[in-house]
């Protein structure tokens, strides 16, 4: 039986600060395994190094900044003091993978000052946890530094070997790339430019996006990312394949020479390194949340995780369209000629609402209900196309809202901004007022295309501030946000719990229309150990019509149907879509798992897994105490034995296994599955037989 955090720990918040008389130059994790040391090079460059159980993992690596209007902060610097703190608390997540999170670290604050005339000051704060480290730069208010224009942050990460890496290119615009598995010395991001299926990409140098995960030849796992990205540019890590070194390369803008504009006092986001002996501990870690500030929104009991359906996949399949007509008078819609394939009609919305209500799915996303889609597709003149308030003539918003309320279905708003940012900013008030008026409490935003104003990128400071504005606007109206084409998650959901979920990866949609064969079977077993470390994912699982006949016979989902079920547990998100069309769920026995599965968890256990190969996660649902387990594999078949010691010995459970059939295979026979009732208690073992590209899902429902 694993040991779990007990609620009683909540009360045991302690903060111990020690004022040190002489500077210390190192700090260790509470368990003593991880150690960070700071020093200065001969030239007076601040540097840090990190070891794990005595093995150097980050070799001495310098830190500094260059500016567009001031000399760099790099050399000729002295250490003027240090402070250490030990901190421990247990905090409660309003929703999430678990209810209670332990946050225990030792902190070292190193205070640096230039020796030359300007005497500029900055601190580097290191927090060392048992599961990794975070450090950030803090610029206090000071005479010779007021407005700050950062040309580049120069934080190095010098590695101790040519590790195995799971990476996507350092694209300034989008994370929707397949993961590459190579040695560090073979990272070649520039070969990933000009992707045929992406509406925007910008990969200026050989760099990777974060999280990037690595395994050393000694079997240690490292993952590099950032936490608490606020009013700053997103990070990419530039790769030096010869020296086995990485350096921060911030996302910039063509409109300014600087990459970040700030004003003292300010601090940078945390630079974060997860360190884990077992791959599974990367997923179990809550380091990114612990590095973020506590909830700033106060009472957030209005946030309700949910499963949802959508008038969505049918557009990706080409069964219907977002647009209503290609030949109408766009100014008045008078005389508009419907082409008859519009997805978001009142009638179709009611069909989905009926199905969702009958099957315990509590929400519905409707895309393509407002005007503008005809003008968007294939044009660069995107400003002013969408207003998010004007329905197409065949969509009666009042009636759909009325009907959804009657059936107790929450509607999810959709705002496809088409990356026309000023248009969206200008319409935030009216768009959110409409949502408030109708009682929408969730929005899915989208940012397809290159950013307008031209010269900005999705991951630069200007856009980071836009995404943040939307979160804060949504919080005012008590709305949860699911962003597509987002900025990567950096744990801000702790501070703004309505920052619920996002895309930020190659989602299921690529299986519908990608011209490169879709997401291969290894995709999600990599995602679980890379992208998922950043935060919740709107992957949109649950496709049963794997071969997509008759709509997309040239494409398919590259997993078995049983794996689609397992994803509800493995790929975490507080908004989980049942993505397929009602007609493919109707009368389907496997749909029972989607009806039953939880979305909000008391605790999560990562039972086994290796990056890119397989992973098994069990989660206990809040309130009900039901457990759900998901296991997925890459293209290899495998047998996995699960000990059910996580179950409560005092309870009895109805246990249902949804497994790949004996002849299942992601390509040759993806829909072969079996459903078995099992007799299991907390002392049992279950053997899961996963087919190539397969998976298994188990529900343990308290009786």
Q: Which does 416 bind (CB under 5 to 8 A by kind): Ca ion, ligand NOJ, none?
A: ligand NOJ
Q: Which does 367 bind (CB under 5 to 8 A by kind): Ca ion, ligand NOJ, none?
A: ligand NOJ
* C-alpha to C-alpha distance for 364 and 369, rounded to whole angstroms: 13
Question: Least distance from C-beta 663 to Ca ion, angstroms?
Answer: 34
- DSSP class of 408: T
Q: Which does 172 bind (CB under 5 to 8 A by kind): Ca ion, ligand NOJ, none?
A: none
Which CB atom, from 150 or from 480, has the smaller least distance to ligand NOJ?
A: 480
3-state secondary structure of 536: coil
Q: Which does 134 bind (CB under 5 to 8 A by kind): ligand NOJ, Ca ion, none?
A: none
Distance set, CA 390 to CA 400, 427, 482 (Å): 14, 12, 22
Residue sitting closest to Ca ion (CB):
484
* C-alpha to C-alpha distance for 197 and 200, rounded to whole angstroms: 9
* C-alpha to C-alpha distance for 684 and 681, rounded to whole angstroms: 6
Q: Which of 111, 367, 441, 580 binds ligand NOJ (CB under 6 A)?
A: 367
Q: Which of 152, 456, 509, 596 binds ligand NOJ (CB under 6 A)?
A: 509
The catalytic residue among 509, 613, 620, 621 is 509
Which CB atom, from 176 or from 620, has the smaller least distance to Ca ion?
A: 176
* C-alpha to C-alpha distance for 177 and 456, rounded to whole angstroms: 20
* C-alpha to C-alpha distance for 663 and 671, rounded to whole angstroms: 10
Question: Least distance from C-beta 14 to ligand NOJ, angstroms?
Answer: 44
Q: How many residues bind ligand NOJ (CB under 6 A)?
A: 8
Is 509 an active-site residue? yes
Q: Does 314 bind ligand NOJ (CB under 6 A)?
A: no
Question: Least distance from C-beta 173 to Ca ion, angstroms?
Answer: 12
Question: Least distance from C-beta 548 to Ca ion, angstroms?
Answer: 18
Which CB atom, from 443 or from 686, has the smaller least distance to Ca ion?
A: 443
3-state secondary structure of 136: strand
Determine whether 3 is exposed, middle or buried from the number of CB atoms within 10 Å of its CB (0-12, 13-18, 19+).
Answer: exposed
Which CB atom, from 319 or from 638, has the smaller least distance to ligand NOJ?
A: 319
Q: What character string, x for contact with ligand NOJ (CB under 6 A) and - otherwise, covers 325-364?
A: ----------------------------------------
Question: Least distance from C-beta 315 to ligand NOJ, angstroms?
Answer: 7
Question: Least distance from C-beta 302 to Ca ion, angstroms?
Answer: 27
Question: Least distance from C-beta 512 to ligand NOJ, angstroms?
Answer: 10
Question: Least distance from C-beta 204 to ligand NOJ, angstroms?
Answer: 24
Helix 346-358 and helix 397-406, axial crossing angle in degrees, nearest 10: 10
- DSSP class of 277: S
First to last CA, the chain: 21
Distance set, CA 131 to CA 134, 280, 281 (Å): 10, 12, 8
Which CB atom, from 200 or from 699, has the smaller least distance to ligand NOJ?
A: 200
* C-alpha to C-alpha distance for 27 and 124, rounded to whole angstroms: 13
Which CB atom, from 57 or from 174, has the smaller least distance to ligand NOJ?
A: 174
Token output for 368: 């393509």
- DSSP class of 189: G
Q: Does 503 bind ligand NOJ (CB under 6 A)?
A: yes
Which CB atom, from 415 or from 619, has the smaller least distance to ligand NOJ?
A: 415
3-class SS letters over 483-522: ECCCCCCCCCCCCCCCEEEECCCCCCHHHHHCCCCCCCCC
Which CB atom, from 374 or from 503, has the smaller least distance to ligand NOJ?
A: 503
Sequence-ordered alpha helix ranges (H) in 544-676: 561-570, 582-585, 591-596
Which CB atom, from 442 or from 617, has the smaller least distance to ligand NOJ?
A: 442
For residue 468, which of 301, 300, 235, 230 has the smallest C-alpha distance? 230
Q: What character string, x for contact with ligand NOJ (CB under 6 A) and - otherwise, covers 634-653?
A: --------------------
Q: What are the CB-based long-range contacts (under 8 Å, 24+) for 19-22?
A: 19/83, 20/82, 20/83, 20/84
Residue 165 neighbours by CB under 8 Å, 6+ apart:
180, 181, 182, 183, 184, 187, 208, 212, 213, 214
C-alpha atoms less than 13 angstroms from C-alpha of 285 in its C-beta half-sphere: 29
Segment holding 330, helix H or strand E = none
Q: Which of 121, 484, 502, 552 binds ligand NOJ (CB under 6 A)?
A: 484
Q: Does 497 bind ligand NOJ (CB under 6 A)?
A: no
Question: Least distance from C-beta 445 to ligand NOJ, angstroms?
Answer: 9
Which CB atom, from 96 or from 541, has the smaller least distance to Ca ion?
A: 541
Residues in touch with Ca ion (CB under 5 A): 484
**Residues 365, 371, 376, 382, CA torsion sign:** negative
Residues 416-445 that bind ligand NOJ (CB under 6 A): 416
Q: Which does 522 bind (CB under 5 to 8 A by kind): Ca ion, ligand NOJ, none?
A: none
Q: Give rounded-to-5 percent helix, strand, coil for the chain.
A: 15, 35, 50
For residue 521, which of 434, 615, 414 has the smallest C-alpha distance? 615
Q: Does 446 bind ligand NOJ (CB under 6 A)?
A: yes
Question: Least distance from C-beta 681 to ligand NOJ, angstroms?
Answer: 42
Contact residues for ligand NOJ (CB under 6 A)? 312, 367, 416, 446, 448, 484, 503, 509
The residues that are catalytic are 509
């Amino acid at each position: 039986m694993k040991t779990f955090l007990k609620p009683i720990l909540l009360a045991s918040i302690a903060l111990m600060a020690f004022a040190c008389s002489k500077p210390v130059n190192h700090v260790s994790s509470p368990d003593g395994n991880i150690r960070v040391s700071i020093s200065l090079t001969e030239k007076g460059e601040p540097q840090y190094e990190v070891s794990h159980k005595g093995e150097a993992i980050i070799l001495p690596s310098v830190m500094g900044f260059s500016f567009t209007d001031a000399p760099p902060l790099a050399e000729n610097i002295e250490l003027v003091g240090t402070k250490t703190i030990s901190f421990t608390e247990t905090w409660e997540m309003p929703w999430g993978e678990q209810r209670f999170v332990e946050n225990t670290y030792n902190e070292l604050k190193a205070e640096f000052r230039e020796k030359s005339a300007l005497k500029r000051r900055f601190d580097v704060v290191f927090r060392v946890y048992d599961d990794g480290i975070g450090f950030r730069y803090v610029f206090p208010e000071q005479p010779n530094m007021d407005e700050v224009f950062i040309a580049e942050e120069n934080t190095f990460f010098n590695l101790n070997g040519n590790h195995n890496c799971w990476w996507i290119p350092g694209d300034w615009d989008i994370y929707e790339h397949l993961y590459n598995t190579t040695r560090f010395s073979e990272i070649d991001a520039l070969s990933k430019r000009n992707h045929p299926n992406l509406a925007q990409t910008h990969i200026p140098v050989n760099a990777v996006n974060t999280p990037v995960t690595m395994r050393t030849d000694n079997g240690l796992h490292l993952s590099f990312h950032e936490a608490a990205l606020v009013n700053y540019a997103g990070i990419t890590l530039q790769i030096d394949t010869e020296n086995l070194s990485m350096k921060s390369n911030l996302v910039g803008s063509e409109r300014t020479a600087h990459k970040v504009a700030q004003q003292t006092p300010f601090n940078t986001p945390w630079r974060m390194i997860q360190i884990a002996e077992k791959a599974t501990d990367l997923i179990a870690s809550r380091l990114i949340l612990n590095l973020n500030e506590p909830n700033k929104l106060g009472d957030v009991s209005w946030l309700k995780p949910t499963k949802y359906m959508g008038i969505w996949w049918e557009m990706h399949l080409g069964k219907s369209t977002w647009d209503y007509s290609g030949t109408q008078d766009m100014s008045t819609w008078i005389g508009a000629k419907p082409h008859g394939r519009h997805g978001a009609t009142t009638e179709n919305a009611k069909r989905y609402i009926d199905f969702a209500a009958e099957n315990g799915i509590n929400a519905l996303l409707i895309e393509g209900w407002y005007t503008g889609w005809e003008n968007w597709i294939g044009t660069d003149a995107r400003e002013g196309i969408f207003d998010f308030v004007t329905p197409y003539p065949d969509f009666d918003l009042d009636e759909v809202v009325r009907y959804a309320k009657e059936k107790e279905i929450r509607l999810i708003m959709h705002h496809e901004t088409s990356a026309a940012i000023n248009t969206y900013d200008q319409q935030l008030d009216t768009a959110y007022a409409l949502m408030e008026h109708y009682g929408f409490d969730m929005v899915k935003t989208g940012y397809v295309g290159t950013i307008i104003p031209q010269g900005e990128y999705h991951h630069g400071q200007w856009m980071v501030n836009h995404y943040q504005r939307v979160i804060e606007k949504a919080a005012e109206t008590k709305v949860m946000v699911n962003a597509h084409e987002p900025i990567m998650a950096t744990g801000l959901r702790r501070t703004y719990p309505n920052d619920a979920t996002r895309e930020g990866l190659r989602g299921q949609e690529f299986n519908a229309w990608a011209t490169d064969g879709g997401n291969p079977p290894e995709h999600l077993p990599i995602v679980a150990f890379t992208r998922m470390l950043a935060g919740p994912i709107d992957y949109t699982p649950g496709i049963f019509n794997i071969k997509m006949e008759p709509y997309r016979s040239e494409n398919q989902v590259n997993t078995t149907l049983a794996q689609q079920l397992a994803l509800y547990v493995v790929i975490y998100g507080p908004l989980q879509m049942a993505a397929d069309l009602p007609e493919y769920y109707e009368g389907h026995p496997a749909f029972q798992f989607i009806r039953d599965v939880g979305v909000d968890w008391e605790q999560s256990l990562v039972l086994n897994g290796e990056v890119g190969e397989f992973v098994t996660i069990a989660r206990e649902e809040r309130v009900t105490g039901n457990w759900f387990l998901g296991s997925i594999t890459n293209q290899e078949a495998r047998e996995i034995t699960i000990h059910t010691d996580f179950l409560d010995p005092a309870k009895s459970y109805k246990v249902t296994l949804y497994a790949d059939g004996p002849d299942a295979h992601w390509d040759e026979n993806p829909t072969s599955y079996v459903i078995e009732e099992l007799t299991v208690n907390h002392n049992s073992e279950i053997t899961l037989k996963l087919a190539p590209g397969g998976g298994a899902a188990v529900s343990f429902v308290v009786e």
